[in-house]
Structure 1
Amino acid sequence: GERLNGFGRIYIDDDGPGLSPEQYEALNLKMQEPLQEEMGCGLWNTHQRITHLFGSHSYLLFGPSPLGGFRTEIIWEIPKEDTDSDKGNTDTNLS
């Protein structure tokens, strides 16, 4: 993970088959829609909780992994007061 430009990011990768670009786009769009019966609720619910807890600029993002498979990114906006207190800290690695 990393902290960059006021956002925290955590990357979860696998090296499986992944999806086509169209499938990633469709999955990302589904996170913005109301829950539908034919879609699983786990990812959608996680996306909603992140948005609710951290604001409308926080979300899940799905795309290809550098490992060749599927990547999920958890992205959240860091409140301004949290970034102000860390101005002297140049370490962006969240390990």
Structure 2
Amino acid sequence: MATMEKLVEKLGNAEDKVEFKKLKKELEEASNTFLRMQNERVKIDLYWTRVQALEFYQEMICRGFMFEERPNEAINVPIEDEKSPSSEPRGSPHDAY
């Protein structure tokens, strides 16, 4: 009888190991997906921060607070880009006037 119990115990341990490996793989895949989504969100936020900085910079030039436009590659982004990371409409401060 003891032999049968040991076999059942070994079978249970083997099933646990298989289930553990399966769950571990699923967790790794979910983690990778989450990291990709988080990275994409950061890219979108950075893009719109640059757009807003450029619009603000242009507004300060229009109001006369700055007299010379100096191109800055950190904020020099196309505002009306069809491939922008968000479909959210973003208006320019100039549209309000």
State whether TM-score is above 0.5: no
Indicate the TM-score class for this superposition, using the shorter chain for normalisation: under 0.3
Give TM-score scaled by structure 1 length.
0.22
With CA pairs under 8 Å and 6+ residues apart, which has the higher RCO, 1 or 2? 1
Question: Whose strand proportion is higher, 1 or 2?
Answer: 1
Question: Whose helix proportion is higher, 1 or 2?
Answer: 2
Give TM-score scaled by structure 2 length.
0.22
Structure number with larger C-alpha Rg: 2
